A and B are shown apart, each in its own frame.
Chain A
Amino acid sequence: MKNEMELKFLSVSKNESFARSTVASFVAQIDPTMDELTELKTVVSEAVTNAIIHGYEEREDGWITIHCKILDENVVELTIRDEGVGIENVALAKEPLYTSKPELERSGMGFSIMESFTDELVVESEVGKGTTVTMKKQFHQVKTVCH
């Protein structure tokens, strides 16, 4: 089954929950497990929060776009884009526990969480132009559960 949607909203922090629940409702059609859905909501939340805090530096007049594609074989591709300040050093930004804004009490775990809850993560950024985060997640994976 192929399907896709696009969602565009302002960089207002109240929209974080709107964004993740909307993406979750859209993906519900491939019948994800509760865990998969929570993971998806978390990565949407992380990327949208980054766009608001870092991309737009908490200005509330920037646009954030989410493009969500359901590809064959239950793979979901998410593209989250802002037209904010961009990231100078993507590799550094992705380092676990790194934060460019320690005064804001950020844990620096955003990209680590996005990486562990998806199967593929690509960050493209240009200073002064904006950032695009693309993630792919495979649903209904046969998992080995470790306790």
Chain B
Amino acid sequence: MLEKEFILRDNVLVVRLKGEIDHHEATILRNEWQRYLHDENLKHVILNMDAVTFMDSSGIGVILGRYKEVMTKGGEFVVCGVHGYIDRLFSMSGLVKVVRIEENEEDALLSLGVAS
């Protein structure tokens, strides 16, 4: 199971995930996430991985896919709450070199100029 929360803060979409991201959940997540990204006022994305307990390469695929979409819009893609096993997968896949990583949601929002 994967719980998703999409929150709009100014021109930033905050995505909070809780649970497991596999191929089944990644497909559902992508469809939902893409609907939000169609909003033209929205520019940046903060992905909060703090409560993600499991992820495989399908999760890496869905994150890279949204990263590319946000780049095309000229926005920034920030990930926070990356620790333990998720951190290992981020390193293995090279995601750490592509996306900007902040400690928590507050820091991520501040880095995008949104006061929390």
Which residues from chain A sit less than 8 Å from chain B, CB to CB?
A: 13-14, 16-17, 20, 35, 38, 41-42, 45-46, 49, 52-53, 104-110, 112-113, 116
A-B interface pairs (CB < 8 A), number: 60
| Chain B binding surface SS class | helix
Nearest B-chain residue to A15, judged by Cβ: B24
Which listed residue, B20, B24, B61, touches A105 by the CB 8 Å rule? B61
Residues of A within 8 A of B30 (CB): 105
Residues of B within 8 A of A45 (CB): 22-23, 54, 56, 58
A49 touches B56 (CB 8 A): yes
Mark contacts of B21-46 with chain A using CB atoms, 8 A cut-off: 1 yes-contact digit, 0 otherwise: 01110010010000000000000000
Selected A-B contacts with CB under 8 Å, 23 pairs: A13-B23, A13-B24, A14-B24, A16-B24, A17-B1, A17-B22, A20-B22, A38-B85, A42-B56, A45-B54, A46-B56, A46-B57, A49-B23, A49-B56, A49-B58, A104-B61, A106-B57, A106-B58, A106-B61, A107-B60, A109-B92, A113-B57, A116-B92
Q: How far is the CB of B33 from chain A (nearest CB, A)?
A: 11
**B93 close to chain A: CB less than 8 A:** yes
A42 CA to B59 CA in the complex, in Å? 11
Most buried by B among A17, A42, A105, A110: A105
A53 touches B57 (CB 8 A): no
Residues of A within 8 A of B93 (CB): 107, 109
Which residues from chain B sit less than 8 Å from chain A, CB to CB?
A: 1, 20, 22-24, 27, 30, 54, 56-58, 60-62, 64-65, 85, 89, 92-93
